[in-house]
Amino acid sequence: MALAPTVRLELIREVYDLFFDGVESFEEEDKIGADLAYLLGAISKDTQCEWPSNRPFVRFLREHCDSNHVVWRFIVQTAAECPHCHLSMDDPVEEE
């Protein structure tokens, strides 16, 4: 069931304020600002974003929003990425 536009607008404000108050800069190398823009767009359009579960943006949200928070309706978490090679940590390793 879709959320009413007024509810989505309030969620956009809440999520923006959470990050504005909780991170040093939206311009960090961990793409917080870009991810925030994608999420706010998804909330406004009532769609979803997809990120690996270990992405800094997702970890920040997990630290500040419980698993029942409405923000999770707009996020699909995928397998964690390897921080060195950007492959899924769940991908099989080919042996020679």
pLDDT in tens, the chain (96 residues): 689 999 999 999 999 999 999 998 888 777 899 999 999 999 999 999 999 999 999 999 999 999 999 999 999 999 887 666 555 555 554 555
52 — phi, psi (to 5°)?
-65, 150
Supply the pLDDT for residue 90: 54
Asked if 51 and 59 touch (Cβ cutoff 8 Å), the reply is no
d(CA 79, CA 68): 20
d(CA 36, CA 58): 10
d(CA 23, CA 33): 10
Supply the pLDDT for residue 52: 94
Supply the pLDDT for residue 5: 94
| Angle in degrees, CA 44, 48, 51, rounded to 5 | 125
